[in-house]
Amino acid sequence: MLAEEGSSHGCGSGIPHGSGTSSAREMLEVRPGLYLGGAAAVAEPHYLKEAGISAVLTVDSEPGFKEGAGFEGLRSLFVPALDKPETDLLSHLDRCVAFISQARSEGRAVLVHCHAGISRSVAIVTAFLMKTDHLTFEKAYENLQTIKPEAKMNEGFEYQLKLYQAMGYEVDTSSAIYKQYRLQKVTEKYPELQNLPQELFAVDPTTISQGLKDEVLYKCRKCRRSLFRSSSILDHNEGSRPIAFAHKRMTPSFMLATGNQAQCTSYFIEPVQWMESTLLGVMDGQLLCPKCSAKLGSFNWYGEQCSCGRWITPAFQIHKNRVDEMKMLPVLGSQTRKL
Ligand SMILES: [Zn+2]
Ligand SMILES: [Zn+2]
């Protein structure tokens, strides 16, 4: 079908060239100078030239075209990604959006394409519309689907774009939202729960000499060993039991955390270095103080329910009544004052 050079029939749409659709090339102009398409869109260099495209973002399992061979002068970005719910697009969104914005600010027309032009490229363009047009995920996706009705990203990408929105359209790797997302990926990437990347573990507070401003340190109530800092707490909205239970996997429960968690009797935190030997290769168990072995809480890589009803996946919970909050004094470092 694509071999029918110059013909507009046989491709179904019947919309003449130049009206926003270039059906033979399987590209659609979704905003002025922003095109969405599948692999066919980059099959021949002259398809791009005809549309005036000089920047191409490929989000696919392999690069869409080889450098040179008629593609000279083309700016390109390749993001390796499979169209699977567990694929991490979130970590690439900032540079994808920046690539599109930069190209457009230089007056270049941009094509974002994947293999079929249905899911991966749609997710990237949706993120771009969310950020630049200040739209919610639903509004941006809806808008795109009115232009391209067959657009249908997988549910994992939908979830990631909701997290992107919750982070304020910028991926903040130090935020509780991103940390929780990264932890959720661990059981997919490392089913044996071995050789986990070190960045998953917060630095042991006993090895930090300087306290960070406004940080609170949590110590074992029994032996006063420092356990974790307030920046390790992964806040969540209070759940209501039945609802929280029904949607335990797909609800971004920690989105838009209110901080008002009166019902929660535990802190849910990111794993800290002293937990490493307990967590590796083990699906669930108790968390004990590394100094006095007092029971502090529990962990489960597949999640636990908070006392407020919310499911947290995975869960590393410390009972509030087993720890004391201490304000860190920034100048004196390890000295603390009980709150
Ligand atoms: Zn809770
Ligand atoms: Zn202790």
pLDDT tens-digit series, residues 168-197: 999 998 888 999 999 988 888 898 999 899
Q: In 3-state terms, what secondary structure has residue 131? A: helix
What is the pLDDT, as a whole number, of residue 3?
37
Smallest CA-to-CA distance from 311 within 320, 300, 322, 319 is with 300
Q: In 3-state terms, what secondary structure has residue 244? A: helix
Q: In 3-state terms, what secondary structure has residue 157? A: helix
Is pLDDT above 90 for 336?
Answer: no
Distance 311 CA to ligand 1 centre (A): 8
Q: Please state, in angstroms and rounded to a whole number, the distance separating the CA atoms of residues 111 and 140.
A: 18
What is the pLDDT, as a whole number, of residue 19?
39
- Indicate which ligand has the atom closest to the C-alpha of 287: 2
- Indicate which ligand has the atom closest to the C-alpha of 244: 1
- Tell me the range of 13-22, 45-54, 65-74, 163-172 where mean pLDDT is highest: 163-172
Q: In 3-state terms, what secondary structure has residue 138? A: helix
Mean pLDDT of 229-243: 76
Instruction: State the chain's mean pLDDT as an integer.
Output: 83
pTM beyond 0.85, yes or no: no
Is pLDDT above 90 for 142?
Answer: yes
Percent of the chain at pLDDT exceeding 90? 62
pLDDT band for position 10 (cuts 50, 70, 90): very low
Residues forming beta bridges with residue 271, ordered by sequence position: none
Burial of 24 (0-12, 13-18, 19+ CB in 10 A): buried
Distance 123 CA to ligand 1 centre (A): 31
What is the pLDDT, as a whole number, of residue 337?
62
Q: Which residue has the higher pLDDT, 21 or 98?
A: 98
Distance 317 CA to ligand 1 centre (A): 10
Q: Please state, in angstroms and rounded to a whole number, the distance separating the CA atoms of residues 280 and 288.
A: 15
What is the pLDDT, as a whole number, of residue 115?
92
What is the pLDDT, as a whole number, of residue 65?
72
Q: Which residue has the higher pLDDT, 262 or 142?
A: 142
Distance 54 CA to ligand 1 centre (A): 50
Element (H, E) at 219: strand 216-220
Q: For Cα atoms 54, 56, 57, give the angle at the middle one, nearest 5 degrees.
A: 155
Q: Which residue has the higher pLDDT, 15 or 56?
A: 56
Residue 114 annotated to the active site? yes
Considering the candidates 96, 114, 264, 289, report the single residue annotated as catalytic: 114
Q: Which residue has the higher pLDDT, 32 or 329?
A: 32
Q: Please state, in angstroms and rounded to a whole number, the distance separating the CA atoms of residues 339 and 322.
A: 15
Cα radius of gyration (the chain): 24
Q: Please state, in angstroms and rounded to a whole number, the distance separating the CA atoms of residues 216 and 331.
A: 14
Element (H, E) at 304: strand 304-305
User: At residue 46, what are phi and psi to the nearest 5 degrees?
Assistant: -70, -20
The number of residues making up the chain comes to 339
Is pLDDT above 60 for 24?
Answer: no
Distance 270 CA to ligand 2 centre (A): 19
At position 268, the amino acid (one-letter code) is F
Is pLDDT above 60 for 256?
Answer: no
- Indicate which ligand has the atom closest to the C-alpha of 233: 1
**Structure tokens, 106:** 């230089």
- Indicate which ligand has the atom closest to the C-alpha of 290: 2
Distance 176 CA to ligand 1 centre (A): 14
